[in-house]
Chains A and B, each alone.
Chain A
Amino acid sequence: MTTSSFRDVEQLSAFLDGQLSQAEKSRLETRLKQEPALTILLGDLRNARSILHQTPKRTVPRNFTLDPHMAGIRPPLPRLVPAFSWASAVAAFLFIITLGGNLLGQFSFGPAAPMLAVAPATSQGSGLGSAPLNATTTPASDNSLYTPTPEAFTLMAPQTTLPSENRAIPPLPVTKSLNNPVNIWLLIWPGLALFLLGVAMIIRWLTLVKFRRRVNKK
């Protein structure tokens, strides 16, 4: 087929669809009256077009409606999300402080721990640790082991402790650590962090339940 004849096919095809301008249309109609081959070609194209129009429409095998998962819709975030984002940051910060505090406490107080058993015995004159010391230093104090009366303690204390030993013993870490406010916070911070985490999880759960109920209703 030549280029000019393809131009004719294009014109005829557009003519069938009513896409020609008025001038083009009247020019083509004149040619159709004069050229029988062009009329046959028009008939063929019309037939092909009509057959395609008659192509049966198939019913859909299933509905193509989307569910929230397919549509990529996520449950809405609670309104308090910004606040809880900060809460998680604070919780993480507190956790680090707690962990750091614990580690520091372990390193600083760790070596002093064995002294805890000895110190009360030496300074106050009581406790199990003091017994062997008493036994070795003064045989006269043997009775005190069996009769631990307050009078005995007060009387025996100066005899059992040596001044040089008394000076060498460090101050009591136990009483100091109990009075230290940092240690109280070491209990409060993780508690607060856990509380915030719990509240955040409950709010998230409530939002999810609400969202699922709404989706199921629809």
Chain B
Amino acid sequence: MDEPALIRNAQNGDLNAFNSLVLSYQVIVFNTALRILGDEDQAADASQEAFISAFRALNSYRGGSFRAWLLRTVTNACYDELRRKKRRPTTPLEPETGDGEDIETPRWLTDPNPLPEQHLDQEELEHAIQHCLENLPTDFRAVVVLADIQGLDYGEVAVAVRTPVGTVKSRLARARLRLRECLQGFRELLPAAFRLEEERGL
């Protein structure tokens, strides 16, 4: 069944039709939440919340990009989660060294079994990207995640974050500039093609 028909049926209360939409969009919704929140469990909770809210507010959808409309609900769920985290900050469980000092990186939590080198590189790159994303203000982070990671166009991002296209354009430029500076600190983790290009640029 095509998407508009599924949306229409879901708007009439057909839960199976809505669940078909959930299966189509759950990867993008979960990954968006993961990049904004930086925590898998919280991202899963936010995604579930987003789908529940989306089903209940489905009649407020009046056409246009359904993906953007759905990502608005997950962005809102993430903002709520971040606000909650800010009100009640938690201390991460980090191991201590023999001297009683905290080990800086939670890499000790990863699987100790040897991994293929490529997989490890990708994992480290992902950590670097996540680190840089988390250093961005929330509004910038949401815009850059939606535009550069999820591939939404400016119009869709504007719908998802409820801001004018001009603001999206400006936030995206600032976010990319900051990310560029941050990612330069992880140059050795970047794929070889990017490193060579950077070196040529320097």
- Does any Cβ of B come within 8 Å of A187's Cβ? no
Interface positions, chain A 1-60, Cβ under 8 Å from B, are 6, 9-10, 12-14, 17, 19, 40, 43-45, 47-60
Label chain B's interface by main secondary structure. helix
Task: Give A45's nearest chain B residue, CB to CB.
Answer: B176
Contact A56 B201 (CB under 8 A): no
A62 to B47, CA, bound (A): 11
Task: Give A215's nearest chain B residue, CB to CB.
Answer: B15
Interface segment out of the listed A70-78, A85-93, A178-186: A70-78
Contact A72 B56 (CB under 8 A): yes
CB contact under 8 A between A9 and B177, given known A17-B154, A40-B201, A53-B149: yes
CB contact under 8 A between A47 and B126, given known A19-B169, A40-B201, A52-B144: no
**What are 8 pairs between A and B in contact, CB < 8 Å?**
A13-B173, A40-B201, A52-B179, A54-B191, A64-B26, A64-B47, A66-B18, A66-B55
Residues in B lying within 8 Å of A, measured CB to CB: 13, 15-16, 18-19, 22-23, 26-27, 29-31, 34-35, 40, 44, 47-48, 51-52, 55-56, 122, 125-126, 129, 144, 147-149, 151, 153-154, 169-170, 172-174, 176-177, 179-180, 183, 190-191, 194, 197-198, 201
Residues in A lying within 8 Å of B, measured CB to CB: 6, 9-10, 12-14, 17, 19, 40, 43-45, 47-66, 68, 70-73, 218
